[in-house]
Amino acid sequence: MIETWRWFGPLDDVTLPEIAQTGASGIVTALHDIPYGAVWPREAIAVRKAEIAAAPGNLHWAVVESLPVHEDIKRGEGDLSGLFARYRQSMANLAAEGIEVVCYNFMPLLDWTRTRLDAPLPAGGHALRFSSVEMAFFEVHMLGRDGAEADYPRDVLHAAASLDRTADEAERDRLLTAIMAGLPGAYARYDVAGLREALQPWAGFGADDLRATFRRFLDEVTPAAEELGLRLCVHPDDPPRPLLGLPRIVSNQDDIATALDMADSRANGLTLCAGSLGANPANDVPAIARRFAGRIHFAHLRNVAKEPDGSFQEAAHLEGDTDMPALIAALLDEEARRTAEGRADAQIPFRPDHGQALLSDLGRKTHPGYPLIGRMRGLAELRGVIAGLSYGGT
């Protein structure tokens, strides 16, 4: 397996020389400064690729995460021919620079959602957390979304009402900031009124509608990906459930099967995110990996600890609810199968996804969930599992 590391570009507080010291060789990044819907120029791709190659440690740009899908494409709104053409041109420019794996997601509005960015850990440090009670409090009492009560069980709504009576302005501001951290793009964020306005175009838009626009997206880009030798890989929903009245369509194995069947091509693949899928109690992540192994082009390896009310917290990589050795064994078996076929893409790139903020991570202004020490611990643990499973064959 190819060890990779997510880097948010020159503005990332974690530097390329630091990443080189973790032992990872592949960089997972994107041109985060380019607006959604615009072409990624080949020249800009080449500059970023050269910047990575010039760093110590023989680093290379291994995976694009993400080549974002414009919200108008997700809504199927207006004349989309220009947006699709520019997306295909960006793909062509990436392929021309030798980059073959492109991760993206099809989640409306928010890329991911947490309600706390610094949940304390028993031994010190902190982690990302999603609290169903805090999310219900936000949707029902702060946002005032019509119909939100129907999305939560009675005990969660009762606890959310209690929180509404006790939360001060500082706590409300902290919660809004945490939820807004999952917005895609550069640094634009909403206040409560702005979020209400941003949600308006999605009113009445359901899961079947989103599946229809996703199918259209795949029809538009998959043939080009095949010609270019690109492997597109959709990222699962995070968390894998509807939020804010927005539909989610890549949350479980049935969703994944539907998405992959929409374009039965190796160019239409999956980013196997153990943490996103692992937050759904119905998902057996190692079993999902084995079922869709042939279409997995990229893996995010992380773990979460789930709670009965739907809450979850980022766990250490070998802790939490997902059997990480069993998942890695499934990926190694797939690599062996590809190697036996003589495939050039036999090795699956993976990255230690997220990480608990530990030791000198505390106080650094890294992207939420992407500290240096916590991810390096995760990479070391995952590396050990891979070595152990590979000894003498899997």
Cα 77 off chain centre by: 24
Per the CB < 8 A criterion, the answer to whether 260 and 270 are in contact is yes
Q: What is the DSSP string of 218-267?
A: HHHHHHHHHHHT-EEEEEPPSSSS-BTTB--S-SSHHHHHHHHHHS-STT
Per the CB < 8 A criterion, the answer to whether 269 and 299 are in contact is no
List the one residue out of 42, 61, 40 whose CA is nearest residue 51.
61
List the one residue out of 113, 164, 176 whose CA is nearest residue 140.
164
CA gap 144, 137 in Å, rounded: 9
Structure tokens at 344: 């050039």
CA gap 197, 366 in Å, rounded: 29
Q: What is the DSSP string of 48-109?
A: HHHHHHHSSS--EEEEEE--PPPHHHHHT-S--HHHHHHHHHHHHHHHHTT--EEEEE--SS
Active-site annotation holds for 273 = yes
The residue from 87, 297, 354, 361 that is catalytic is: 354
Structure tokens at 116: 């706390």
Active-site annotation holds for 187 = no
Active-site annotation holds for 235 = yes
The residue from 70, 126, 297, 300 that is catalytic is: 300
The residue from 87, 104, 152, 370 that is catalytic is: 370
The torsion of the CA quartet 304, 307, 312, 315, rounded to 10 degrees, works out to -30
List the one residue out of 132, 107, 146 whose CA is nearest residue 248.
107
Element (H, E) at 64: strand 60-65
Active-site annotation holds for 300 = yes
The phi-psi region of residue 78 (left if phi > 0; otherwise alpha if psi is between -120 and 50; otherwise beta) is left
The residue from 70, 126, 235, 297 that is catalytic is: 235
- The half-sphere exposure of 333 on its side-chain side, counting CA atoms within 13 A, is 14
* Count of residues in the chain: 394
Structure tokens at 321: 């609810």
Phi, psi of 94 (to 5 degrees): -65, -45
Strands 268-273 and 312-315: unpaired
Q: Which residues are catalytic?
A: 235, 273, 300, 353-354, 370
